[in-house]
Amino acid sequence: MNNPLLQLKSASVCFQSRTVLETIDLTLNRGEIVTLIGPNGAGKTTLVRVVLGLLTPDTGQRTLKSGITIGYMPQKLHVEPSMPLSVRRFLALAGANRKNISAALAKTGVPHVSESPLQTLSGGEMQRVLLARALLRKPDLLVLDEPVQGVDVNGQKELYHLIGQLRDETGCGVLMVSHDLHLVMASTDRVICLNSHVCCSGHPQQVSRHPAYLKLFGGESEELAVYSHHHDHQHAACGEVIPESSTDTPTTEHSRTQTHAGFSA
């Protein structure tokens, strides 16, 4: 795709002479969901900080398309328990007016929490409020650092679905960090597998079978990310299921020994 929203070229970051990010090339395009996965300490948050412009790489280049806005959803927000702050006031601090705040909360599915104190929100509600805050900037690029942290499995699916919907509606680009391999596989256009350097990247299905990915995530990836099943039947040309024992009826190419690899969601 031409004219990317953001590009990193050969970006490296060292902390106390330890290389945490090594010659990273990254392109983020409008309308595309890119997910960054990698083990603890792989440099995901550091890369997010470089993307956001909060950290300048020691070598390499970051190029941001001119005039674009980035919306950021942090991993989590620490709220001082004694601070009386409603969701609406919290979002107003980002400079939004009442109407836009209500619209953003409706869009992220939590209009009912607008007057609730921040401290009383559930994990899933908090994530949706943080997403609403990121959306209030009307971002061209949405950066989400572990957006489903602390959310139950059904809530995670809903949040990933919502992120996809927002991308569809606004056409923004999305970069997100996730540890949730199985859920992410079904919710992303491109996966980047990071372990200081980019181990592999591409379409989720390609990445899930890449030796570098399998080496990093091993059995977990097989259990969580990929499901495969063997068919115990054939299909007649009309689509009718034919049990394994019947062999005389003409069938489609969909053979009983075919193995399907897919992604559980």
Ligand X SMILES: Nc1ncnc2c1ncn2[C@@H]1O[C@H](COP(=O)(O)OP(=O)(O)OP(=O)(O)O)[C@@H](O)[C@H]1O
Smallest distance from ligand X to CB 265, Å: 22
d(C-alpha 44, C-alpha 55), whole Å: 13
Q: 59 - beta bridge partners?
A: 12
Shortest Cβ 45–ligand X spacing (Å): 3
Query: Which helix H or strand E contains 34, and what residues bound it?
Result: strand 33-37
Residues making contact with ligand X (CB under 6 A): 15, 20, 38, 40-46
- The residue among 49 and 190 lying less far from ligand X, judged by its C-beta, is 49
What is the nearest approach in angstroms of ligand X to the Cβ of residue 151? 16
Q: How far is the CB of 40 from ligand X (least distance, A)?
A: 3
- Residue 50 to residue 143: CA distance in whole angstroms: 11
Q: Rank residues 96 and 191 by Cβ distance to ligand X and give the closer one.
A: 191
**Tokens standing for residue 207:** 């990445």
Please give the structure tokens belonging to residue 58: 């020691």
Dist. CA 101–CA 261, nearest whole Å: 42
Q: Are strands 33-37 and 173-177 parallel, antiparallel or unpaired?
A: parallel
If the CB atoms of residues 179 and 235 are measured against ligand X, the closer one turns out to be: 179
The residue among 45 and 122 lying less far from ligand X, judged by its C-beta, is 45
